[in-house]
Amino acid sequence: MATTQEQKATPNILNNTTTTTSSWADPLRNRPSVATVISAVDSFSDPPPNTTSTTKGIPVMTRAQTCHPLDPLSAAEISVAVATVRAAGATPEVRDSMRFVEVVLVEPDKQVVALADAYFFPPFQPSLLPRTKGGPLIPTKLPPRKARLVVYNKRSNETSIWIVELREVHAATRGGHHRGKVISSEVVPNVQPPMDAVEYAECEAAVKDFPPFREAMKRRGIEDMDLVMVDAWCVGYHSEADAPSRRLAKPLIFCRTESDCPMENGYARPVEGIHILVDMQNMEILEFEDRKLIPLPPADPLRNYTSGETRGGVDRSDVKPLQIIQPEGPSFRVNGHFIQWQKWNFRIGFTPREGLVIYSVAYIDGSRGRRPVAHRLSFVEMVVPYGDPNDPHYRKNAFDAGEDGLGKNAHSLKKGCDCLGYIKYFDAHFTNFNGGVETIENCVCLHEEDHGILWKHQDWRTGLAEVRRSRRLTVSFICTVANYEYGFFWHFYQDGKIEAEVKLTGILSLGALQPGESRKYGTTIAPGLYAPVHQHFFVARMDMAVDCKPGEAFNQVVEVDVKIEEPGKNNVHNNAFYAEEKLLKSESEAMRDCNPLSARHWIVRNTRTVNRTGQLTGYKLVPGSNCLPMAGSEAKFLRRAAFLKHNLWVTPYVPGEMHPGGEFPNQNPRVGEGLATWVQKNRSLEEADIVLWYVFGITHIPRLEDWPVMPVERIGFMLMVFHSKLAYFIAILSVQK
C-alpha cells in the first residue's frame, strides 16, 4: 500500500506518502518483555542523532523515522525482498523456477510497535510503555523491517517460506543492487499456495488450445475461441485424488455471444457437461470428458449490465443530482498511514490476502487520555459453499482469501468508487507471480459520511427539541473474485461504535438447464438458466486490547443472554426479564453461536479498569443477521472450514495464529487445520490478550431481481462501547446541528 491522494469529487487536493503491503507476526518468535525489546533494539543503533528534545526528562527524537513498523511494504522493499530470495537460489534452474505468491511485512511484536509510537512517531506517546526505575533507555533506531515471502517452485512443485531482513532498501535502484539478508527459509511439505492471476490466464489459454475441447465447443455451435471464458477454480479437497502432490484446477466454462462487446456478461451462458482437470504446474490437461450435451442458454436481451439503450430499454432520467460538499475540507487528518478523526486514531495497512487491515485502534477520552480498543482488525477468510449436489456445482466451495487473496483482487477505485465528498486514497503494492511489483492505485478509500440522526429529544411540556446529526469515518476497499464483488468497510462513529460491514454485489454463478428442466437447488432466472442456492461466510479476526497497553493481558469475554424470570414471588406480574452474564473461561467454553431469541451478545471487558460506578469497562460485540452452514456435518468442504461450525471463537493471542483454516487451504487434506485445532489446547481466557474470531454469513436464495447484476446486500456487526463512558457527549453536545 502506498502513495495517497485526497480528492473532492474529482479535483486533487493533496498528495501524500509512499509505502505498501502489510501482513502478520513472525510465528517463530516468542513475545519478549518491553525491557528486552528496548535493549535489543538499541543493539541496532547508529550513533545518536545530534538533535533531540526532552519531554519530562525523557529524550525524544525530534524527527520521526520514515517507515513505521506497521507501514505496509513499499515497492522498493518488495523488490529488495524478491531479489534477495532469488539471489539465494542454489542454481540458475532454481532461480528461474521461483514464482512469488506473496510478499508481506513481518509484523513486529506489539512491544516494538509501542516503542515506535512512544518515541519515534508522532503523536509521541511515552505513556504506552511502563515506567522503569531511572527512566527507559531510549534506542536511536528501530530494528530493521522484515518481509515474509511465500515462494512456489514451478519446477519441483514445492512451496517455501522465506524471511528476509530489509536493510538499505534505497539501494535497490542502483542497477539491481540490494541490501537484504535471508534470515530463514523452509520448505513446507504437502501444501499448495494460493492461485495467481498469471496461472489463471495460462490455464485459459491451455484449455482453449486443447483439440478435444475445441471439438466439444464445436458440438455446441462455438468455433470462435475468443468468445470462450475459462475460469480456473481450485479443486478443493474431496478425496486423495485432490492431494496437494499435484497443483490442480477444475475450470468452469462460459461463452459470450459477441466478440466485439467487451462489456458483455459472459457469465450468462454457462457451458455444462464438460469435465476438465488441469495440471496447473505444467499447464497440461490431465482429464477431459464431454459427458453431456446441454444446449447453451439462449442470448438473454437482459443479460448485460451496460446502459439501458443497449438492452432494449432506457435508463432512469428522473433522478436529480445529489451533491456532497465539504467546503472547509474533511475533519480527518492523515500522516502517512496514521489517521486521526473525532477522538479516534488508528493506522491502516493492506495485505494481499486480507486486504485492508486496521491497527492500533484507540480513543482519546478527555482527561483519561488514550484508551486502546484493538490492536488489529481484519477479515481473514471467506468461504462460499454452494448447495446444488450436481456436477460441477457441488465442488464450488471457494476460499476467496486463502485460495485467491482478497487484497490481490482489489480494485483501483479510479474505475468507480462508491464514496462521495473529500476522499483520501491509498495505493497498494504487490508482487506478481514472476516477482515484479504491481501497484493498485486508489485501492483504499477514506472518507466521512453523514449518517442521519445521532440523537434527538423533544420535551413535550416545553415543546423544545434538541437533535444532533451523526458523522462517521469510513475506510474501505472493493475486490472482484471471478463473478462476485465484495466491498469491505470499517465505520468509526462519534459515540465510540465501530461497525464492520460487507457489501455483496456482482454476478451470480450460474448453471444451464435442459429445455423444460427446473432445479430444486436453485432459481430459474432466464430461459435455460438457473442460479444455485449458496452461502457467503466471512471471518473477522479482532485482536482486542480494551483499555490495555501493549504487553498487558487484562481482557476477558462474557456472554450475555436475556432471561425470562420464572413465575413466582419475584415475578408476580409475569413481566420480568433480565440480562445474565456468563464468563467464558476457556477456549472450549468460548465456541458459541448467535441466538437472537435471547438477544445474545458478547462483551470484551478489562478486568482491572472500572468506570465511575465501579463497573468493569468493555466493548460489546453485537451480531447482525447471521447463519450457520446449511450443509450436513460430513460435507467435504467442512474438512477445511471447520471454523464455520460456530459464529464465535475466542483464543488468547499467539503470534502466527492468523488464518482460521490454516495458511494453505488450497487442496488441504488435513481435517480441521487452524482454529478448530488451536482451541483443542483449551487455553485459559479468564484474563488474557483476547482475540475474537467472528464468523458471519448470508444464505442466498437467488431472485429474478438479482439478474443480471445483484443489487448490494449488506451484512456485518457492531463493536459498541459498554460501561466505558467515553467522554463523547462533551463533543456531541457542541456539534453543529
Place of cell 517452485: 153
| Rounded CA separation 303/705 (Å) | 12
Select from 172, 25, 209 the least CA-distant residue to 86. 172
Task: List, in order, residues 6 or more apart from 455 with CB less than 8 Å away.
Answer: 467, 468, 732
| Rounded CA separation 388/252 (Å) | 15
Task: List, in order, residues 6 or more apart from 667 with CB less than 8 Å away.
Answer: 191, 192, 234, 235, 236, 237, 242, 243, 244, 247, 248
| Rounded CA separation 225/295 (Å) | 17
Gyration radius of the chain's alpha carbons? 27
Place of cell 445483484: 710
| CA distances for 459 relative to 465, 651, 736, angstroms | 6, 47, 20
The CA dihedral of 215, 220, 224, 229, to the nearest 10 degrees, is: -100
Task: List, in order, residues 6 or more apart from 419 with CB less than 8 Å away.
Answer: 413, 445, 447, 474, 476
CB 163 within 8 A of CB 178: no
Active site residues: 400, 484
DSSP assigned state of 126: G
DSSP assigned state of 670: S
| Rounded CA separation 351/378 (Å) | 10
How crowded is residue 512: how many other Cβ atoms within 10 Å of its Cβ? 18
What DSSP string describes 480-525? EETTEEEEEEEEEETTS-EEEEEEEEE----EE--TT---TTEEEE
| Rounded CA separation 544/549 (Å) | 11
| Rounded CA separation 353/379 (Å) | 9
Cα–chain center distance at 61 = 34
CB 244 within 8 A of CB 667: yes
| Rounded CA separation 53/49 (Å) | 11
